[in-house]
């Protein structure tokens, strides 16, 4: 059995930088928690547990994770995403796990008028925090609803919910900000968040796709995180798998990402009415949505990964020969979730191994290398190749945001 040379190195590397936990990679855990449980449990093959910065657990699945909680080390950040921003959509009734939340409305979606009474707000907040308390979270996430525009009545309600949260548990609270991407520059939202008194902010911007969005939109997202971070808030960019690495390298935010999921967040997909039950929609719990090819910095559908890896010259460039995939040429395809988590841990360790000032440039260089690999794939596969166009845009986003930080002295 391979004595995990790589594991030992990485563990040393991570311990060297243990103080560098202001920007974390948090694993978003939903139905796929067993993969993570396995990697946190050493066995004959895997000598050491996967070192992770922390987890964000979906509130509607948290009761399944009792065992997982026990395995998280003392310096892990542990958060529960309460999912309250999904409870104002009528379609929340289609999701049994949302309906089962103790703080969900018993008959329908929430409406602003439900919260007219202060006592109701108190009880609601108590119920949301109680679920987090039971899971022994390290930080509380204040309940918050999606705010579609500056005129939305939910904005004022969110303010009251955050105030009540801080009344109940003190100041070590993250505000939840769930807004459409066209509100990223809205000063009402930014000022409200900065002046809220919260210690941090869990930031959900929708829709946001690092793969397809234009440069200005991605720059705005980084800029928003930077503004909040400069104001002293600890920022977590929610559901931002690949682009989160850029945010970490720029030093503006922690980020969370589901296991081997694609690089986008769209609230509309989460609240879309379902005509089938959850079990029918997800026949295999934890079924991966893609294969993460680290040298491409991209998660691709399994079918695409297969066709790329079936070409020997491309496979030589892309195959993972780390412990996660050793022993089988096909491991990356067979155990994509495990591969993703180990690969991401290596990426985070690599960012931390560089001095902070070098990190954006190093990341841009990495994207450029990924771009070269993507070009080879295009030459070989022709029209069957994915566009990989995002690899052109990301270095420009990093460049633009770095320049704007220098100009503004931020
Ligand atoms: Zn691997």
Say yes or no: 274 and 305 in one domain. Answer: no
pLDDT at residue number 79: 96
How far apart are alpha carbons 98 and 87 in whole angstroms? 8
Task: Collect residues with CB below 5 Å from ion ligand 1.
Answer: 320, 322, 324-325, 339
Say yes or no: 196 and 299 in one domain. Answer: no
How far apart are alpha carbons 366 and 343 in whole angstroms? 14
Say yes or no: 260 and 132 in one domain. Answer: yes
Q: Which of 350, 309, 348, 354 is nearest to 328 (CA)?
A: 309
Most confident of 19-33, 96-110, 290-304: 96-110
Residue 385 confidence (pLDDT) above 70: yes
Say yes or no: 267 and 299 in one domain. Answer: no
Pair 246, 398: CB distance under 8 Å: yes
Q: Which of 281, 307, 327 is the last residue of a domain?
A: 281
pLDDT at residue number 268: 87
Q: Which of 262, 281, 300 is the last residue of a domain?
A: 281
How far apart are alpha carbons 43 and 116 in whole angstroms? 54
- Dist. CA 19 → ligand 1 center (Å): 27
Boundaries of domain holding 135:
17-281
Task: Tell me how many domains the chain contains.
Answer: 2
Say which DSSP state 296 is in: G
Q: Read off the CATH number of the domain in which 94 is found.
A: 3.20.20.70
Say yes or no: 255 and 345 in one domain. Answer: no
Q: How many CA atoms lie within 13 A of 84 on its CB side?
A: 29
Average pLDDT over residues 61-84: 90
Say yes or no: 272 and 321 in one domain. Answer: no
* pTM passes above 0.75: yes
From start to end of 276-347, where are the E strands? 291-293, 298-300
pLDDT classification of 11: cutoffs 50, 70, 90: very low
- Dist. CA 294 → ligand 1 center (Å): 9
Say which DSSP state 213 is in: S
Average pLDDT over residues 138-148: 97
- Dist. CA 319 → ligand 1 center (Å): 8
Residue 179 confidence (pLDDT) above 50: yes
- Dist. CA 355 → ligand 1 center (Å): 26
Average pLDDT over residues 141-145: 98
pLDDT classification of 103: cutoffs 50, 70, 90: very high
- Dist. CA 316 → ligand 1 center (Å): 14
Say yes or no: 90 and 182 in one domain. Answer: yes
Q: How many CB atoms lie within 10 A of CB 309?
A: 20
* Within a domain: 10: no
Say yes or no: 309 and 259 in one domain. Answer: no
Say yes or no: 325 and 178 in one domain. Answer: no
* Within a domain: 199: yes
- Dist. CA 335 → ligand 1 center (Å): 8
Say yes or no: 194 and 300 in one domain. Answer: no
Average pLDDT over residues 250-263: 86
Say yes or no: 158 and 302 in one domain. Answer: no
How far apart are alpha carbons 2 and 217 in whole angstroms? 45
pLDDT in tens, 345-375: 999 999 999 999 999 999 999 999 999 999 9
Q: Which of 281, 305, 322 is the last residue of a domain?
A: 281
Say yes or no: 305 and 234 in one domain. Answer: no
Average pLDDT over residues 251-279: 78
pLDDT in tens, 194-217: 999 999 999 999 999 988 999 999
- Dist. CA 7 → ligand 1 center (Å): 12
pLDDT at residue number 20: 55
How far apart are alpha carbons 191 and 151 in whole angstroms? 15
Residue 286 confidence (pLDDT) above 90: no
């Amino acid at each position: 059995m391979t004595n995990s040379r790589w594991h030992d190195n990485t563990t040393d590397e991570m311990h060297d930088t243990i103080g560098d936990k202001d920007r974390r990679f948090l694993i978003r855990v939903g139905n796929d928690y067993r993969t993570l449980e396995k990697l946190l449990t050493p066995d004959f093959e895997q000598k050491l547990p996967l070192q992770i910065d922390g987890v964000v657990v979906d509130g509607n699945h948290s009761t399944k994770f009792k065992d997982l909680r026990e395995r998280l080390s003392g310096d892990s950040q542990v958060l529960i995403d309460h999912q309250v921003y999904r409870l104002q959509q009528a379609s929340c009734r289609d999701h049994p796990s949302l309906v089962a939340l103790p703080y969900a409305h018993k008959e329908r979606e929430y409406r602003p008028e439900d919260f007219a009474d202060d006592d109701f707000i108190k009880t609601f907040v108590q119920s949301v925090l109680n679920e987090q308390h039971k899971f022994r979270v390290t930080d509380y996430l204040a309940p918050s609803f999606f705010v579609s525009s500056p005129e939305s009545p939910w904005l004022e309600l969110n303010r009251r919910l955050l105030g009540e949260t801080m009344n109940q548990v003190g100041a070590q609270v993250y505000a939840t900000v769930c807004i459409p991407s066209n509100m990223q520059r809205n000063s009402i939202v930014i000022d409200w968040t900065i002046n809220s008194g919260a210690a941090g902010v869990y930031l959900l911007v929708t829709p946001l796709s690092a793969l397809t969005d234009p440069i200005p939109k991605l720059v705005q997202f980084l800029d928003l995180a930077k503004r909040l971070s400069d104001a002293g808030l600890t920022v977590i960019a929610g559901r931002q798998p690949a682009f989160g690495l850029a945010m970490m390298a720029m030093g503006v935010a922690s980020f969370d990402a589901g296991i081997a999921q694609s690089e986008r967040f769209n609230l509309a997909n989460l609240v879309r009415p379902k005509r089938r039950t959850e079990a029918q929609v997800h026949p295999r719990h934890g079924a991966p949505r893609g294969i993460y090819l680290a040298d491409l910095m991209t998660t691709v559908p399994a079918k695409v990964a297969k066709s790329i890896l079936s070409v020997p010259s491309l496979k030589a460039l892309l195959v993972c020969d780390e412990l996660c995939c050793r022993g089988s040429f096909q491991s990356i395809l067979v155990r994509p979730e495990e591969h993703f988590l180990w690969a991401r841990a290596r990426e985070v360790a690599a960012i931390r191994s560089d001095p902070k000032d070098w990190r954006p440039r190093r990341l841009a260089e990495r994207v450029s290398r990924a771009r070269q690999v993507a070009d080879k794939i295009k030459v070989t596969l022709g029209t069957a190749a994915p566009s990989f166009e995002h690899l052109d845009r990301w270095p420009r986003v990093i460049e633009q945001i770095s320049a704007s930080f220098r100009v503004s002295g931020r």
